[in-house]
Structure 1
Amino acid sequence: MNFALILFLATVLTGTAWLLDKLIFAPRRRAARVEQMPLWLEYTAGLFPVICIVFLLRSFLFEPFKIPSGSMIPSLMIGDFILVNKYTYGIRLPVLNTKVLDINEPQRGDVVVFRYPKDESVDYIKRVIGLPGDVISYQNKRLSINGQAMSYEEQPDFLDPEHMGYAKHYREAFPKDFGGYQYRILNHPERSSLIFNPDRFPYSENCQYSSAGVTCTVPAGHYFVMGDNRDNSADSRFWGFVPEKNLVGRAFFVWMNLGDLKRIGRFE
């Protein structure tokens, strides 16, 4: 379901009714000394201001999303409701998704929502690992960028609630040359490093697969993304790069989790 399109059409419909009421129907009611607005106008013109505000906020400022899977554990948990900043990476026209104003570019470590390249009606959330031109190597469950290895600080084992088992828990950090940003990841030692059955995707020739993992050169205008729950995430290792045009925004805040209210306000 294209909710953005539905909201746009609702805004147009109710806005048209609101305008007709202001120009035609309201003057007629005043002339006839009728105060009550017809029911059909109450549910169209009367709702226009609210629908218009929601449409503008959702299209240009912030959009809510719910985390449906465990691919971003431990940073984001299943059931987290998050807010996504829609203008961080530029202003886009709603529905058309055409960028009209550049503001910022994604940075390594950003958690981004994007339209899944294989089915753009579906939104995914992952962490940006590689920028255009980067050489990303994920070998034996260790990551390097342009030949520089990430650093790993071991943490207490983490109970992965999606798979009801403990996973190895690390604080992964980019090299200082790449900002030094840190975040937490999970690895399941019993899982193989082999990437099983990767898809054929645009620029798949930029990736070389082996029993130890994968090495990819990120093409211009694209990004390499991964989930923090490394052995339970379908990401760029499997289905390829994220085009810049598919970016929706940067996730930055957990505003609700009905199963764990302590999650509110947390975001790593």
Structure 2
Amino acid sequence: MKDFMKNWGFFIIILSVFILLRLFVVTPVSVKGHSMDPTLADGQKLLTLKTDKVERLDIITLQEPDEPEKMAVKRVIALPGETVEMKNDQLTINGEVFAEPYLDEYQALFDTGQLAETYAYNPQFQKTAENAETFTSDFSYTVPEGQYFVLGDNRLVSKDSRYFGFVDQSYIKGRVIWRYWPLNQMSLFTKDSN
């Protein structure tokens, strides 16, 4: 037994730590679809941190409220009890204007009529871009306690709280902390980088 532990002990400890981290702390996920373009792209691999604390602008993984068997990656926009409104592509939360710099690239393409070209991979997305009057459709909601309002960064094609409703705290599975694939796009997601 002593020889076994001497030869394999370090490996067993590392494997045990990895398993515990995977079960209780971090979860690997893959991005499927284009709702978070250009922040996150289809096929990218992420690590999420399992957490109870969610803040505005966190990018999270969640179960879709209308189809709980499906997982999604979205951005938290409004917190429990807040009133969130979008009018003419201007976001306000509790009556205060809120900037969304993560939308700048696609918003600029939309404003110049070039977003349809970006959507060349999907004719339906192209048609949506050509016919839309605003990048983010107008809405106004008050978020119930214990719920969150989430949106995808690619607002014209994202299925999010505008469609499936508010997200209960229990449906949130983790906060994205690291993009590890592809390697040339590896990056940490901190509060400042969101």
By the TM > 0.5 criterion, same fold? yes
1:235 to 157, 160, 171: 160
Partner of 1:71: 35
Shift in Å at residue 56 of structure 1?
2.7
Instruction: Give secondary structure in 2 for the equivalent of 1:230.
Output: coil
Alpha-carbon distance in structure 2 between the residues aligned to 1:55 and 1:191: 47
Shift in Å at residue 254 of structure 1?
0.6
Shift in Å at residue 151 of structure 1?
3.0
Structure 2, unmatched stretches of 5+, are 1-11, 122-127
Higher helix share: 2
2:120 to 164, 186, 199: 164
What pairs with 1:146-225 in structure 2 (closer than 5 Å)?
146-151=94-99, 155=105, 157=109, 163-164=119-120, 188=129, 190-193=131-134, 213-225=138-150
Deviations 1:180-236 (A, max 9, x none): xxxxxxx957424599xxxxxxxxxxxxxxxx6210000000000000011110100
Alpha-carbon distance in structure 1 between the residues aligned to 2:75 and 2:172: 12
Instruction: Give secondary structure in 2 for the equivalent of 1:231.
Output: coil
TM-score (normalised: structure 1): 0.54
Partner of 1:122: 70
Alpha-carbon distance in structure 2 between the residues aligned to 1:188 and 1:150: 24
What pairs with 1:28-39 in structure 2 (closer than 5 Å)?
none
TM-score (normalised: structure 2): 0.72
Matched, 1:264 2:178: no
Q: Which amino acid aligns with 2:152?
A: G
2:91 to 130, 140, 143: 143
Alpha-carbon distance in structure 1 between the residues aligned to 2:148 and 2:139: 15
Shift in Å at residue 255 of structure 1?
0.5
Q: CA RMSD in A?
A: 3.2
Worse-matched range after superposition: 224-233 or 142-151 = 142-151
**More contact order relative to length (CA 8 Å, sep ≥ 6):** 2
Shift in Å at residue 141 of structure 1?
2.5
Alpha-carbon distance in structure 1 between the residues aligned to 2:92 and 2:42: 28
